[in-house]
Structure 1
Amino acid sequence: WQVPVRMPSNGVVTEAAIPGNVSGFDARPATLYLPPAYLADPRAELPVLVLVAGEPGSPSDWLDSGRLATTVDAYASRHSGLAPVVVVPDALGDYDANPGCMDSALGNVATYLDQDVPNWIESNLQVNPDAAQWAIGGFSYGGTCAIEMAVNFPDRYPSFLDFSGQDEPSTGDHEDTVAAMFDGDESAFDAVNARDLMAQNQYPQLSGVFVAGEDDDIYRPQQEIMFEAARAADMNVDYYTLPGGHSGDVWGTALELEMDWLGRTLALTP
């Protein structure tokens, strides 16, 4: 791809409905960011970054507290308009819902993110279909979701960003979560829980980043647990803290800091 004579200086943000054709999950519209190189003629074949917001929340939270468009625009401006196509699907179903990022009695969120969302992207957007150039990320609930999806579907999402996520999906305490999601069946929960899977398997094909706020006394210790579990599972991972608590100041800054890593990992830059 060669930079055309005329190309927009900024990307565009839009919305799109991504139906749960396979999963049956009833999702709200997704938020999309299309970088300048996607809007050019000819269009560059770009990698994909799937981002998930926190709970309670909406996909648009990545635009507000996460500063998504500003951050990716800035990256694109340094790289001839090149940046990932970013899709922020709804992984909640409602503002204050909490289905966890699994297929369970609360909704088939895992299948939605593993099949419905990629199927829609490949059918409706001109992107690179090579899974090596796809990544998933998120903050809080979305961070938990990112590591869950990477571990359960490493061929779909071999790279991940986990910002201030939990050490397991939770609707409250562990017992209540397993009861709500799997009718109390611990083995069914363990079979898809990322922390349990990392204790049993090696994932050298996965790479990712864990970030937490220095003052986040609830989620920072859980991030440390997940980072150590990922290292023990032979993942290529990094972990660091940023000033702040459980807030967009941390997540927005973390995305800014990790754009260069994403660019290299997704083969946009050497």
Structure 2
Amino acid sequence: MHAPRVGESAVSLTSTTLPVVLALAAAAVFALLASGRPRVRRPWAATGARAAGLLVLNVLVVALVGAELNDHFDFYVSWSDLAGAQAATTVTHHGATARSAASTRLPSGLRPATSLPALPSPGERVQHYTVTGARSGVRGQVDVLLPAGYSTATATSYPVLEALHGYPGTTDSWLTGMGVEGALDRAVADHSIKDAVVVLPQINLPYAVDSECVDGPAGTPQVETWLAHDVPQFVVDHFRVRTDRSSWAVAGYSEGGWCAAMLGLRHPAVFGGDIVFSGSFTPEFSRGYRPFGSRVPGRYQLAAVVRRDPPPLAMWVQASKKDGYAYPPTAAFLKSVRAPLSVTTDLLKTGGHREQLWAGELPTALSWLGRSVPGFSP
């Protein structure tokens, strides 16, 4: 059983407590009616009391059946989601507050740089690199979107957003389909978020392999290590960025959404913020690459990870109820959420699994990041 959500009753809609409470209440009302209670002398009053009792009993039974069906089919993830059943978008909160989760201090594994090399393309906002990870041994492409007017000559240090594409996808997917440059510039101009360095690493390694960003057995790509350690350290060694976790966030969509969720939950010392667009919470390997065979290791079953040891991480999770890939695992994952983890959900009544939808939700996600993760606050 998980802890109550912030702003909701002690008995959450998806907790195991709710059906028990409803069943006990129904049993108590039935017992009262069967024993002839309440005993009222006036016949008309007795009839009214009995009718009221039967009505309450029926409501409790219907509510019990509804709670069991909701638990099985995940129609609604919380009371606030149920209350907004007719709304196009429902926002819910689970666990701790986002700011408290992102502000928790953890020892960072990032080493501050003593000096910075020159940019390969001075004056351009997008820089292109090929990087070999010192810890992972992985070699892949890393593109970096710089803030307008970025200069190594100034003392300004920026927060970092590591943005992960889906499958199939490339490092420029966030620049083209997602339109991250324009969305971020507009959010900065609106004072919704502080300007940031956006890192766009290759995640499917070797190229075109659906890696799911995992560290496979010996002899397979160590993509998790590449994304959680090598890429962040490369960024610190080459750009004026901050190293505290409250100034780092990871984001992704589809396969990249799973990767973002996994990286944030498994590496909270690096990432204080986490943005998931239509992601899963367990890896979904394609037929061409199954590094673990038919059994996925427990460390990649994120609902179980959170149930056992939730990290202090601020997450923003988007899913559409029409999205068969993302919504069922999202609803199941939310049942395990408790403090110090914080999850804000952006649940769409309609939509699907497509880049145009995620691009439209990106301004909302950036605004949340600016409000919730201190290093991104303007």
**TM-score normalized with structure 1 length:** 0.83
Q: How many Å separate the matches in 2 of 1:151 and 1:40?
A: 32
Flag the 1:32–1:266 CA change in 2: closer, same or farther, 3 A.
farther
Offset at residue 193 of structure 1 (A): 3.2
Q: How many Å separate the matches in 1 of 2:212 and 2:294?
A: 15
SS at match of 2:305: helix
Q: How many Å separate the matches in 2 of 1:81 and 1:237?
A: 19
Structure 2 matches for 1:232-251, cutoff 5 A?
A: 232=338, 234-242=340-348, 243-251=350-358
Structure 2 matches for 1:191-202, cutoff 5 A?
A: 191-202=299-310
State the Cα deviation string for residues 140-197 of structure 1 (Å, max 9, x = none).
Answer: 0111001111111111112100110112011148xx97xx2235565xx113432221
Q: How many Å separate the matches in 2 of 1:39 and 1:98?
A: 36
- Letter of the aligned partner of 1:119 in structure 2? Q
Structure 2 matches for 1:117-156, cutoff 5 A?
A: 117-156=231-270
Offset at residue 228 of structure 1 (A): 3.2
**Which of 49, 60, 65 matches 2:172?**
60
- Letter of the aligned partner of 2:302 in structure 1? A
Mapped contact 1:13–1:31 kept (Cα < 8 A) = yes
- 2:137 aligns with 24
Mapped contact 2:319–2:346 kept (Cα < 8 A) = yes
Mapped contact 2:131–2:139 kept (Cα < 8 A) = no
SS at match of 1:237: strand
Structure 2 matches for 1:112-261, cutoff 5 A?
A: 112-172=226-286, 180-183=290-293, 189-203=297-311, 205-229=312-336, 231-232=337-338, 234-242=340-348, 243-261=350-368
State the Cα deviation string for residues 1-32 of structure 1 (Å, max 9, x = none).
Answer: xxxxxxxxx982232222222101232x2221
Q: How many Å separate the matches in 2 of 1:52 and 1:75?
A: 20
State the Cα deviation string for residues 91-127 of structure 1 (Å, max 9, x = none).
Answer: 1125531112221044101110121101100110111
- Letter of the aligned partner of 1:169 in structure 2? P
- Letter of the aligned partner of 2:161 in structure 1? L
- Letter of the aligned partner of 1:241 in structure 2? L
Mapped contact 1:11–1:73 kept (Cα < 8 A) = no
Flag the 1:30–1:40 CA change in 2: closer, same or farther, 3 A.
closer
Q: How many Å separate the matches in 2 of 1:225 and 1:120?
A: 35
User: What are structure 1's unaligned runs of at least 5 residues?
Assistant: 1-9
Q: How many Å separate the matches in 2 of 1:85 and 1:191?
A: 30
- Letter of the aligned partner of 1:63 in structure 2? L
- Letter of the aligned partner of 1:18 in structure 2? V
Offset at residue 208 of structure 1 (A): 0.6
1:263 and 2:377 aligned: no
Offset at residue 138 of structure 1 (A): 0.2
Identity, in percent, stands at: 25
Offset at residue 255 of structure 1 (A): 1.7
Work out which of the two has the higher radius of gyration on C-alpha atoms and give 1 or 2.
2
Mapped contact 2:282–2:300 kept (Cα < 8 A) = no
- 1:3 aligns with none
Flag the 1:227–1:81 CA change in 2: closer, same or farther, 3 A.
closer
Larger RCO of the pair (alpha carbons < 8 Å, separation 6+): 2
**TM-score normalized with structure 2 length:** 0.61
- 1:85 aligns with 197
Mapped contact 1:58–1:95 kept (Cα < 8 A) = no
Q: How many Å separate the matches in 1 of 2:236 and 2:375?
A: 18
Flag the 1:263–1:181 CA change in 2: closer, same or farther, 3 A.
same
**Which of 2, 27, 42 matches 2:154?**
42
Q: How many Å separate the matches in 2 of 1:80 and 1:41?
A: 26
Q: How many Å separate the matches in 2 of 1:193 and 1:57?
A: 24
Mapped contact 1:11–1:69 kept (Cα < 8 A) = no
Flag the 1:241–1:207 CA change in 2: closer, same or farther, 3 A.
same
CA RMSD of aligned residues (A): 2.6
What is the count of residue pairs matched by the alignment? Answer: 252
Mapped contact 2:133–2:226 kept (Cα < 8 A) = yes
- 1:13 aligns with 126
